[in-house]
Structure 1
Amino acid sequence: MPSGTQVRYELQTNGTLLSDAWLDLFERYEVAVGVSLDGPPRANDRHRLSHAGRSSAASAVRGIELLRSRPQLFAGLLAVVDLANDPAEVHDYLAAFAPPVIDFGLPHATHDDPPHRGDPSVPEYGLWMSKVYDTWLAQPEHRHSVRMLEDIVALSSGVRGSVETLGLAPPTSVVIESDGSIEGGGGYLPHRFSAADGYRNPSVYCADLEYLIRHVQGSLRQHGWDPYAQATSSS
């Protein structure tokens, strides 16, 4: 690692086993903690049941509340987009925990194993995230960031985004999996994969991302800001 490189550590967890003892350890080693929660109990339990097949929602909420008692450790919340869930309801439920950041992740998928869609001709994930954007923008009392949406605003105005899932910035994070394996941060590269062409494909979410980007930029224009003019002046 190059000298002078600053390393920040963040742990992602479902929050169910967090305790004061764990937080003491994280505090000692300056490890920030993010919690994965897909929304209200009904939404979260679609994919996040316990090993015994029971709801994990209450345990996750208990872990979040414990983290909130030590805000210096609370990195934010992560929700995986599920088209079966209501985007505004999910956003508002997560926002009620007053996290510093809400991350929305698109489900891992490839061209050989595409994401679930009700209608493949419709950019359903882009529509879903556009509703999150509208909900987030309509409530100025919230102080949390939504990383994907803020990155679209930043990239549209010529500013480098914070993560490599959008734009062309080089990766600045690595992921250490629970089995010890190490991989690059972000999920956009796997979304390009096919057995026939490797990674020489557009993202399986290309139409969704295009729809979302155009939606955000359209909103900026309605508020008197031309992102293209901003990008030109910044170059």
Structure 2
Amino acid sequence: METSGFTKNTKRLLIWGAGDQGTVALDCALAMKRYSRIDFLDIKEKGHRQIPGHTIYEEAKEKVSELIHGYDEVIVASGSNYLREKKIAQVLAAGVPLATLIHPTAVISPLAHVANGCTILAGAVVNINAYVGIGCIVNTHAVIEHDCLAEDYVNICPQVSMGGHARIGRRSFIGIGSTILDHITVGRESIVGAGAVVIRDVPDGTTVVGVPAKRKH
């Protein structure tokens, strides 16, 4: 797990994605006080917001592989699990280190594992023996309890609660305020709707909503 995020601010960070997730990543990176320079590269498919005080490069106008080599670390900031995976693959292929952003108010067990390329936001909890895969987003005040697994490129929204030993499959989206009970598995590329309470396993590629959560037809 990345544990050096609170050291002297000497590194240059490029945030790949200049939309809503990009500004959230900026807030997290600033709170870490690790970076001397933070710039943005927009994602052509999504565009960008205005972010005063920070350079925004346009993906369509840049030689991306050359640009990212000008930075010590890159974080891909897109709420789309598919886009995040695609851009992270480009960063890894270029041999540039992925950043791991962990807000100072997040609580990460020293016996948890958080892979590179993750963004862990304010007030989030990742408890003992939990595993968070590459490129995941763990949003504000989300709780990943002990012995949980979030596979690569998962997006866990604010206020989500995962009970012990729960599992989330690759590229799944867990909606705001939802609850996944202990020992429950959410399959790959699935969606859990906002506020849902998941009391039974969710198959791959399935959307569930409601209390208790049921398959959406």
TM-score, with length taken from structure 2: 0.31
Larger relative helix fraction: 1
Structure with more relative contact order (C-alpha pairs < 8 Å, separation 6 or more)? 1
Larger Rg: 1
Larger relative strand fraction: 2
TM-score, with length taken from structure 1: 0.29
